[in-house]
Each structure stands twice: as structure tokens, then as C-alpha cells.
Copies of this chain bind each other. A is one copy, B any other.
Amino acid sequence: MDISVKKKRTRGRLSREMIEDAAFEVIEREGLSGFSMRKLAAELGCEAMSIYHHFPSQAHLYEALVDRQISSIKIPDDGMRWRQRIHVAVKEYRRVATEHPAFAPFIVVYRMNSPTCLAKLNDVIGLFEAGGFGLELSARLFRATSYYLMGAILDETAGYAKGPSAVTTVSDEALARDFPGVMAAGAYFGTAGFDKTFDIGLDMLLDEMERIRDGANAR
């Protein structure tokens, strides 16, 4: 007649990997801001504080999630032409970062500093330097390309395609009447056009980088 069901305590049920897997699931289901240690515990069938035995804090857990995603990025080796290598690396980063869409915005704003991430960063920076721009210019071109990449990931995972986050909303009729330019262009802002738009912008940057390099070499 005991109402409360006694929890069977068993050791070794949890592991860092299990917790990380469950975290991605909860984040996708509840959204990044809807995620909490208690919801994660519920998903795992344990108590919130049990997680703290495996991760010292939520921040440590998040870092592990970032590390896991970033470390799965494959930077192309020198078996292809330079432009191709950059192209593949950028697309690969985008693919991995958007694998768990709800978590992507976190990756974008996260200032990584773990050895895992720094190693990857080091490889990518090396890739840009291999373009032969010299230290400073290749560093700046890397940043500029990152700007584009991060902005794209952010828009594709947390942008207008998900509907407005605003409290004040404008109806579709009002939109068509008062802001026809937005209405017309909006047709190309949906999920279906993400790849095409991204490739146009990326090719623009790649074209320019090649032009810069050729110009420097010709001199």
C-alpha cells in the first residue's frame, strides 16, 4: 500500500556518454533554453544531482557536447587543391554544427579552449596559411570566412525559418501590403534555399581569396 515507488539503486547505470546522448535528445526536444539538469535526469531515469558525479557542472557538460561535435569534424588533408580543401572544411563544419540544430547556436557563441577544439582550430588555421597569403592576411581571411560560416549556421538553425521570436507580430496581409520587399524576398529565405544561398556566399569568398592569392603571386 506504499504509494511511493522505491527507486532501485544500482551503480554504474550512468556514464558520460549516456548523459551526453540524453542531453542532445532533451535539447532537441525542449530547445536550448528549455533544457535543464532536472529534465535531463528525468530522461535518464535518475536524479538531477546524480549527473554531477560525472560532470562537475552544467557548463562542463555543455563543453563536453561541444568537444564531441567539434572533434567529429574531419579536416581534409592535402590530397586536393587548396580551394577544394577550404570548401570541404567549411561545409564539413557547417554539417557537424547543424547536426543537432537546437544546440548549434551554443556552438557558434562558444569560445572553445579545450585541447580537442584547439587542435582542430590549429588545423584549419594551417589550411588558410597553406593558401600562401602570409601570416596576417591568412589569419584575417580565416576570421572573415568564420564570420560568414557562423552567421549562416546561426540563421539556418535559429533564424527566421523558425518563425518570429518577437512578441509583436505583423500579419501576412500587413506584411504583403506594407513590406512587399520583405514578402517577396522571404520566399527564398526558407529551409529549402539554405544550401543554395550558402554555396553562393561561400563561392564568392573562395573566388575572392583565389583572386587575392593570384594577384599576390603575380607581383
Measuring CB to CB, which residues of chain A are less than 8 angstroms from any residue of chain B?
Answer: 56-57, 59-60, 63, 66, 105, 108-115, 117-119, 121-123, 125-126, 129, 135-152, 154-155, 158-160, 162-170, 175, 178-182, 184-185, 187-189, 193, 196-198, 200-201, 204-205, 207-209, 212
Contacts A140-B193, A151-B147, A185-B125: A170 and B113 contacting too (C-beta < 8 A)?
Answer: yes
Instruction: Specify the chain B residue showing the minimal Cβ separation from A138.
Output: B185
Chain B residues, CB < 8 A from A181: 121-123, 125-126, 129
Other 9 A-B pairs with CB < 8 A, given A63-B166, A109-B154 = A60-B167, A112-B164, A114-B168, A115-B170, A122-B179, A139-B185, A147-B151, A148-B148, A151-B154
In the complex, A115→B165 CA distance in Å? 14
**Contact present for B125 and A182 (CB under 8 Å):** yes
Chain B residues, CB < 8 A from A166: 63, 66, 110-114, 117
**Contact present for B160 and A111 (CB under 8 Å):** yes
